[in-house]
């Protein structure tokens, strides 16, 4: 139940919210005679859908002491039973709108499965004993399989989803983008490389930082990435397997955009744009970390906000966010596609995010 920060949600809330999605968008409109489980749950477990009605404030989700976990599990069972009946009915009717919403609901739940893991890790890290969530080995200690640079030739590239499978609306509308010739690292930045940046005074030299990032760094007094701790001259990092000595060869994790851009500047390189990343992705080994790009989260040409509440899913967040590409160790397999556009504020670091460099 605890909520460690306003930007993370309690584990119980994730389960209840993903359950609520099916109730609100499928059972209520498409299951004849359906009776909602509880009249207060729409208010408690709506996330950001203004068109659905009032909701509890995000920073107060940890104050939802009732319903307790057992009742949330009972709620889930109730919704599952009704969803099975609805799915049988939909399989016979073949109505496109509820089938599309069902698919969206399943992918929405997969997103929350990943957020659940990132939020649990952030919560457990607040405990001074650094309890482990998993037995060793720590999944964060994966390593690169390549060390050279891939060449992206100058030219026009087709960007965006063009298949027939599931995709979010922010991936739609394939379009042409021109990219200059560049070289992009096949390897993500390692812990050891980033440690060199720290020891070289990277967190004390304003010249490598974007101004907003530098101001936030100064205000917070940051000297290292999230989950890194120095004890008796040795660096440790908190992982899903508990506090562990830094593995210099492991891929760097939990870096925000400002840190990623500062490190790239220190190395005399830069971050890729999301278009360069997508154009070069077949030459890259990706999927271990969400990778920051130097692209603002903006609509593709021809993007239109869908009608109804589902139109609030992506479009209204297209400001003050940066795009991440790829996937992470916590991402569902169905979300690991080259056109997937993840997005977070530039100071977010609790996601499993890393850095890939491009030569200037």
Q: Cβ atoms within 10 A of the Cβ of 219, count?
A: 8
In this structure, the chain runs to a length of 360
Query: Nearest 5 degrees, angle CA 21-CA 27-CA 32?
Result: 170
Residue 355: phi and psi, rounded to 5, are -135, 130
Tokens of 299: 């609509």
- Which residue ranges make up each domain of the chain? 11-125, 139-359
CATH numeric code, 139-359:
3.90.1580.10
Per-residue model confidence as pLDDT tens digits over 40-51: 999 999 998 888
Q: Within the chain, which residues score under 50 in pLDDT?
A: none
How far apart (Å, rounded) are the C-alpha atoms in residues 202 and 212? 16
Q: Pull the structure tokens for residue 301.
A: 């040409």
* Cis preceding-peptide flag for 123 (omega within 30 of 0): no
Contact 9, 350 (CB under 8 A): no
Nearest alpha carbon to residue 57 among 66, 67, 46: 46
Determine if the peptide bond prior to 137 is cis (ω within 30°): yes
Per-residue pLDDT tens for 51-73? 888 999 999 999 999 999 999 99
Strands of the sheet containing 322-326, edge to edge, are 342-344, 322-326, 290-296, 353-354
pLDDT confidence of residue 91: 86
Q: What does the block give as tokens for 106?
A: 């399943």
The rounded Cα 278 to chain-centroid distance in angstroms is 17
User: Residue 155 has what pLDDT?
Assistant: 98
Q: What would the pLDDT profile of 4-24 be if each residue is shown by its tens digit?
A: 999 999 999 999 999 999 999
3-state secondary structure the chain: CCCCCCCCCCHHHHHHHHHHHHHHHHHHHHCCCCCCCCCCHHHHHCCCCHHHCCCCCHHHHHHCCCCCHHHHHHHHHHHHHHHHHHHHHHHHHCCHHHHHHHHHHHHHHHHHHHHHHHHHHHHHHCCCCCCCCCCCCCHHHCECCCCCEEEECCEEEEECCCCCCCCCHHHCCCEEEEECCEEEECCCCEHHHHHHHHHCCCCCCHHHCCHHHHHHHHHHCCCCCCCEEEECCEEEEEECCEEEECCCCEECCCCCHHHHHHHHHHCCEECCCHHHHHHHHHHCCCCCCEEEEEEECCCCCCCCCCCCHHHHCCHHHCCCCEEEEECCCCCCHHHCCCCCCEEECCCCCCCCEECCCEEC
* pLDDT value of position 214: 98
- Residues whose CB falls within 8 Å of the CB of residue 38, separated by 6 or more in sequence, listed in order: 67, 75
């Amino acid at each position: 139940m605890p909520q460690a920060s306003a930007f993370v949600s309690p584990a119980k809330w994730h389960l209840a919210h993903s359950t609520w999605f099916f109730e609100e968008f499928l059972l209520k409109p498409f299951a004849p005679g359906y009776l909602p489980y509880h009249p207060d749950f729409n208010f408690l477990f709506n996330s950001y859908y203004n068109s659905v009605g009032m909701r509890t404030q995000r920073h107060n989700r940890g104050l939802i002491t009732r319903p307790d976990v057992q009742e949330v599990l009972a709620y889930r069972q109730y919704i599952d039973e009704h969803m099975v009946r609805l799915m049988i009915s939909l399989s016979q009717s073949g109505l496109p709108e509820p089938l599309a919403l069902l698919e969206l609901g399943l992918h929405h739940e997969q997103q929350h499965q990943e957020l659940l893991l990132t939020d649990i890790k952030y919560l457990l890290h607040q405990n001074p004993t650094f309890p482990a969530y998993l037995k060793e080995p720590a999944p964060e200690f994966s390593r690169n399989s390549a060390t050279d640079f891939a060449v992206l030739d100058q030219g026009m590239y087709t960007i965006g989803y063009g298949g027939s499978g599931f995709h979010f609306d922010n991936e739609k509308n394939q379009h042409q983008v021109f990219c200059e010739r560049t070289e992009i690292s096949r390897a993500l930045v390692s812990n050891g490389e980033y440690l060199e940046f720290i020891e070289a005074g990277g967190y004390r030299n304003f010249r490598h930082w974007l101004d907003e990032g530098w101001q936030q760094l100064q205000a917070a007094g940051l000297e290292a990435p999230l989950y890194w701790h120095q004890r008796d001259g040795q660096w440790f990092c908190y992982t899903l397997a508990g506090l562990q000595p830094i593995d210099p060869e492991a891929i760097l994790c939990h870096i925000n955009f400002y840190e990623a851009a500062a490190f790239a500047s220190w190395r005399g390189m830069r971050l890729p744009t999301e278009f360069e990343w997508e154009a070069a992705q077949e030459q890259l080994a990706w999927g271990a970390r969400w990778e920051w790009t130097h692209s603002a989260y903006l609509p593709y040409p021809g993007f239109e906000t869908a009608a109804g509440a589902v139109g609030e899913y992506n479009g209204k967040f297209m400001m003050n966010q940066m795009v991440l590409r790829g996937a992470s160790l916590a991402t569902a397999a169905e979300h690991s596609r080259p056109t997937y556009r993840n997005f977070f504020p530039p100071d977010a670091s609790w996601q499993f995010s890393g850095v890939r460099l491009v030569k200037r």
